[in-house]
Amino acid sequence: MLTGKRIILGVTGSIAAYKAAEIVRRLKSANADVTIVMTKAGMEFITPLTMQTLSCNPVYTETFVLQKDSRMAHIEVVKAADLFLIAPATANIIGKIAAGIGDDILTTIVLSAKCPVLIAPAMDSDMYENPIVQRNIAFLKERECRFIEPEEGELASGIIGKGRLADVDKIVSSVIDILVVKKDLKGEVVLVTAGPTREYIDPVRFISNRSTGKMGYAIAEAAKSRGAEVMLISGHSSLQRPKDVELINVVTADEMREEVMRNIERATIVIMAAAVSDYRPIKVSQDKLKKSGKDISMGFTEVPDILSEIGRNKGNRIIVGFAAETSDIINNAMYKLKEKNLDMIVANDVSDTDAGFEVDTNIVTIIDKDGIVAKLDKMPKKDVAHRIFDRIVNFKRRHLDSILR
């Protein structure tokens, strides 16, 4: 399964370091090319000789080592890597990574890594629960590091608590999840809307909102990477067109509605991530409005709600809406889920500085019509996009099962 994948395995000074030998063995039997990097403390628990023998590659333990051609070894190693797994990871190494410290081979490599970083902590439960350690973990999660939660059980100190390195099976399957992209949307046609709409007042002025399209574009990319055919209907956005996705640009809510209706027949999954205007000016001036020296007021009329319209004629499609809220998030989202006849709704608090508009992260709760509520931590929008599809795939499977039963 991992043929052609290059994995760096970082081993740090935890009693669980001996389990790193089994991790290498398992990754190697899945055909991965594994290179080991060890901290000094890691070498107190397991020898580089063991790791070298199992990995069949040189083990890196020193920062200042030149290769035959005078290139820094650690820089070359990380350039080619598909994944950097750190297992076991101590509180110390997590703290250093969070602080941007590079004072040994392992931390130096993490600082220059462009590949995904997956961290499996192992430590005493008092350390794991320490608010500083938890803050470091939360901080790194926001910056695209992924974590495999430690398990509860008897620890080296004799205490029973959470801190034991996750099971090797779980670590290996997390690696596979990251490196082997699921194609579980093969055969699906996903229609995604993204970005803001603009409602013109005159030829140069419009009302709009702060949406940038980041969430919708991340959804389109995730759907594509999981094997779907994707149509992206986007309001104004300066984001790059996602690769191999059909992009349809629109400006106003009416145009967005028209394009959604024109393309919906082909869609098996619809995700309305766009921030569509609710109102437009009743009268659009053909000429630029001039200053009059007096206050002005303007009449607005409601624009049709696209999601409600497709919810009324949904057929077998899965329809997912977003709920942009600033208060009573879950209740408001549940109301929209029911009112618009949706299968799922993604609720987010757009007043939070790290969620909603203009930022790369989001904090969402996904609610489906079966009443399953999943509150997600703060994470990059591209991870949110994958979580939404995980839930859609699950939802489809559940409903298919109940039809077949």
Active site residues: 209
Give the residue with the Cβ less far from ligand CTP, 107 or 209.
209
Q: Pick between residue 322 and residue 395 the one whose CB is nearest to ligand CTP.
A: 322
Q: Shortest gap between Cβ of 359 and ligand CTP (angstroms)?
A: 17
Instruction: Please identify, using beta-carbon distances, which residue of 167 and 278 lies nearer to ligand CTP.
Output: 278
**CB of 367 closer than 8 Å to CB of 387:** no
Give the C-alpha separation, 156 to 357, whole Å: 45
Please list the residues that pair with 202 across neighbouring strands: 205
Distance between CA atoms of residues 86 and 138, nearest Å: 17
**Beta pairing partners, 23:** none
Q: What are phi and psi of 271, to 5 degrees?
A: -125, 115
The nearer residue to ligand CTP, 261 or 400, going by C-beta atoms, is 261
Question: Nearest approach, Cβ of 371 to ligand CTP (angstroms)?
Answer: 19
In order of 11, 78, 107, the CA distances from 73 in angstroms are 17, 9, 14
CB of 244 to ligand CTP, least distance (A): 24
Q: How many CB atoms lie within 10 A of CB 340?
A: 21
DSSP H or E stretch at residue 160: strand 160-164
Torsion of CA 254, 342, 384, 182, to 10 degrees: -110
Nearer to ligand CTP by C-beta: 157 or 341? 341
Distance CA 117, CA 114 (A): 9
Report the interface residues with ligand CTP, using CB under 6 A.
Answer: 253, 272, 274, 276, 278, 303, 305-307, 321-324, 336
Q: Angle CA(67)–CA(72)–CA(74) in degrees, nearest 5? A: 105
Q: Are strands 205-207 and 269-272 parallel, antiparallel or unpaired?
A: unpaired
Q: At closest approach, how far in Å is the CB of 276 from ligand CTP?
A: 4
Q: Nearest Cα to 254, choosing from 233, 270, 230? A: 233
Q: How far is the CB of 401 from ligand CTP (least distance, A)?
A: 27
| Shortest distance (Å) from residue 303 CB to ligand CTP | 5
| Residue 44 vs 278, nearer CB to ligand CTP | 278
